[in-house]
Structure 1
Amino acid sequence: MTEEPDISLLRPYLLTAGRAQPIDQTLEIEAQVLTSRLGAASYSKLSYERLQIVSLCRNTMSVAEIAAMLGLHIGVARVLVADLVALGYVVVRRPGNHNSHDLDMIERVIRGLETIR
């Protein structure tokens, strides 16, 4: 009897084309992602996972929240978001010192990370 490969292990590999690191390796999990005009106009051209991310990010959302909402490993979400940024489908607002005191953002990131567990 041969065992079938575990699809759940294969899926992340397929989603990222085997890449474990995003194009932008500095992309933080708390970075805020928002759909661009190009992304909103390109729904019909996007693969399923990319479409889900672009749709979710009509409202600003952190990379951690995206991972939690879509049930993706945080590394997979970082790779996909970085790809969408490079293609111009989403824009990212990077955390800075001014965000370090934004309690709402910190709480949303914590809730997103807790959901991943």
Structure 2
Amino acid sequence: MTRGRTQPIRGQFDLISLVVSRWPVPERSDLTPEQSEILVWSRRPLSVAEIAAALDLPVGTVRVLLGDLLDAGLIETHEPPVLDAPSEDLLEAVLAGLRAL
């Protein structure tokens, strides 16, 4: 299925990254049945974890397949936002509040 690869050729694919397929999908004979199924499942945005669960495949395998689909331009991914770490002042205020309990 992955031809021995353990890492995607493109993309990071965090468990909560959203994947959506681009439609209409052109007729392609080079897609595996699993990749075709991913395209069907991801007509609406789904997380990498949801896709893996729906296909009953290991997440690592799904990441490799998604990398191939991303490289072929058949899917789009939306990574989760990177949150800034809370300020030291906020953390101290939370700690003070917890101590007051």
| TM-score interval (norm. to shorter) | 0.7 to 0.9
Q: For 1:61 and 1:78, how far apart are their aligned partners in 2?
A: 13
TM-score by length of structure 2 reads 0.73
Q: Is the 1:43–1:51 contact (alpha carbons within 8 Å) kept by the matching residues of 2?
A: no
Query: Is there any run of 5+ residues in structure 1 with no aligned partner, and where?
Result: 1-14, 99-117
**TM-aligned CA distance change 1:21 to 1:34, over 3 Å:** same
AA matched with 2:65: L
Q: Which has the higher contact order (CA 8 A, sep 6+)?
A: 2
Equivalences, count = 82
Shift of 1:22: 1.2
AA matched with 1:33: V
Which residue is 1:29 aligned to? 15
**TM-aligned CA distance change 1:94 to 1:70, over 3 Å:** same
Query: Is there any run of 5+ residues in structure 2 with no aligned partner, and where?
Result: 84-101
Q: Is the 2:11–2:70 contact (alpha carbons within 8 Å) kept by the matching residues of 1?
A: no
Runs of 4+ in structure 1 displaced over 6 angstroms? none
Q: Is the 2:18–2:47 contact (alpha carbons within 8 Å) kept by the matching residues of 1?
A: yes
Task: Point out the structure with max Rg over C-alpha.
Answer: 2
Structure whose residues are more often helix by fraction: 1
Q: Is the 1:29–1:78 contact (alpha carbons within 8 Å) kept by the matching residues of 2?
A: no
Q: Is the 1:34–1:58 contact (alpha carbons within 8 Å) kept by the matching residues of 2?
A: yes
Q: For 1:59 and 1:36, how far apart are their aligned partners in 2?
A: 10
